[in-house]
């Protein structure tokens, strides 16, 4: 297309004039949106604080060193809680997500109505951040690990079920057809034709989500839902910066280990 013949002979341009103009227009709109957004945000900013930020940062940085190593002993229980929130929350999520995924997948759903309902569960679970789930659950159940665990579970259902139902829809249909041709019932068709195909995905998704949940459960304490976030929040509020840095180090190590574990397990599954 962008080959133009003129009196000067054959010339080449990357794009036609019209396309080029459209691209410029796109840039213009994009840039004006950004400028507009920036103005709105800068209106609500106290620039004095921002100018002061580097000094503040340096100040906090100095106060954080050295980390209060002795505080570690008081962090063992919170870390244990954090891991439990993530692990049990993931377990709850998988137990619920598997049937939901089978209802949501086009090739296994018993009826369209079930599919719509399952998709609704998936979307609403996914759209609400675990911190918001936790915020609500703390109101209902009171502060504590239970609220955090359920929050993690609720948030993870949608994530796991979405990945699972996509995997179910992508299975090799001929294997299912072969099982069906033997005269198997629908339940047996799922058991022999579909489950063996998606089992590795279920395990992989569980481990993947567990890794994410470890990170997420480190912050649930900010709204009172248990775990190490509780100590973090407390230490920041009391300006105990050496404790803060110690907590951050512990979080960092926990996340690092969980990432390593999940990578190992996923590698073993595949």
Partner 1 sequence: MNSETSLIKYPRHWRKPPFIKSSKLRWAIIMGALIYLFAAFGSMEIDVERFIKGIPRGKRFFDSFFPPNFADHRGVVWDGILESVWMAIISTVAGIALSVPIGLGAARNLAPLWVYLSCRGVIAGSRTFPEIILAIFAVKLFGFGPFAGFIALSIGTIGFFAKLLAEDIENMNEEQAEAIKATGASWFQWINYAIQPQVMPRMIGLSVYRLDINFRESAVVGIVGGGGIGATLNTAFARYEFDTAAAILVVIIVIVMSLEYVSGYLRKWVQ
Partner 2 sequence: MLRLEKLTKQYKTGDQALIDVDLEIPKSQVIALIGPSGAGKSTLIRCINRLVEPTSGKVYLNDLELTSLSSRKLRKNRRRMGMIFQEYALVERLTVMENVLSGRLGYVGFWRSYFRKFPQDDIKEAYRLLDRVGLMDMVDKRADELSGGQRQRVGICRALIQNPDLLLIDEPTASLDPKTSRQIMRLINELCEERELAAIINIHDVQLAQMFSQRVVGLELGSVVYDGPPDGLTPDVLTKIYGEEDWSATIEKVEDDDEEII
Binding stretches for partner 1 (CB under 8 A): 33-34, 36-38, 40-42, 44-46, 49-50, 53, 56-57, 60, 77, 80-81, 84, 87-88, 123-124, 126-129, 131-132, 135-136, 139-142, 144-146, 149, 215-216, 218-219, 222-223, 232, 236, 248, 251-252, 255
Q: State which residue, 29 or 191, has the beta carbon closest to partner 2.
A: 191
User: Using CA atoms, how far apart are residues 234 and 168, in angstroms rounded to an integer?
Assistant: 45
* Binding partner of residue 199 among partner 2, partner 1, none, CB cut-off 5 to 8 Å per kind: partner 2
Beta-carbon neighbour count of residue 26 at 10 Å? 10
CB of 269 to partner 2, least distance (A): 12
Q: State which residue, 52 or 177, has the beta carbon closest to partner 2.
A: 177
Helix (H) or strand (E) holding 12, with range, is: strand 9-12
Instruction: Name 241's Cβ contacts closer than 8 Å, sequence gap at least 6.
Output: 60, 63, 64, 235
Using the CB atoms, write b or e for 236-246: b if 16+ within 10 Å: eeeebbbbbbb
Please provide the size of the chain in residues: 270
Q: Interface with partner 2 by CB under 8 A: which residues?
A: 172, 174-175, 177-185, 187-188, 191-193, 196-197, 199-200
* Binding partner of residue 79 among partner 2, partner 1, none, CB cut-off 5 to 8 Å per kind: none
CB of 266 to partner 2, least distance (A): 17
Question: 9: phi > 0 → left, psi -120 to 50 → alpha, else beta; which?
Answer: left
């Amino acid at each position: 297309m962008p080959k133009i013949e003129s009196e000067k002979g054959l010339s080449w341009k990357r794009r036609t004039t019209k396309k080029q103009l459209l691209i410029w227009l796109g840039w213009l709109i994009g840039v004006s949106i950004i400028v507009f957004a920036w103005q709105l945000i800068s209106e609500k900013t106290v620039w004095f604080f921002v100018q002061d930020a580097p000094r503040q940062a340096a100040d906090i940085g100095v106060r954080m060193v050295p980390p209060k190593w002795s505080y570690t002993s008081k962090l063992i229980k919170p870390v244990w809680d954090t891991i439990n929130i993530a692990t049990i929350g993931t377990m709850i999520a998988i137990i619920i997500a598997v049937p939901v995924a089978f209802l949501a997948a086009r090739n296994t759903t018993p009826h369209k109505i079930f599919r719509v309902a399952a998709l609704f569960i998936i979307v609403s679970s996914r759209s609400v951040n675990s911190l918001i789930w936790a915020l609500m659950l703390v109101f209902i159940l009171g502060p504590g690990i239970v609220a955090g665990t359920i929050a993690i579970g609720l948030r993870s259902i949608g994530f796991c079920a979405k990945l699972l139902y996509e995997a179910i829809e992508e299975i090799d249909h001929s294997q299912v057809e072969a099982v069906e041709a033997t005269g198997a019932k629908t339940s047996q068709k799922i058991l022999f034709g579909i489950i063996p195909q998606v089992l590795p995905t279920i395990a992989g998704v569980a481990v993947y989500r567990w890794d994410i949940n470890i990170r997420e459960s480190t912050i649930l304490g900010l709204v009172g839902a248990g775990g190490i976030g509780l100590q973090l929040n407390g230490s920041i509020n009391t300006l105990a910066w050496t404790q803060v840095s110690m907590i951050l180090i512990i979080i960092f190590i926990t996340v690092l280990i969980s990432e390593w574990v999940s990578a190992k397990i996923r590698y073993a599954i595949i």
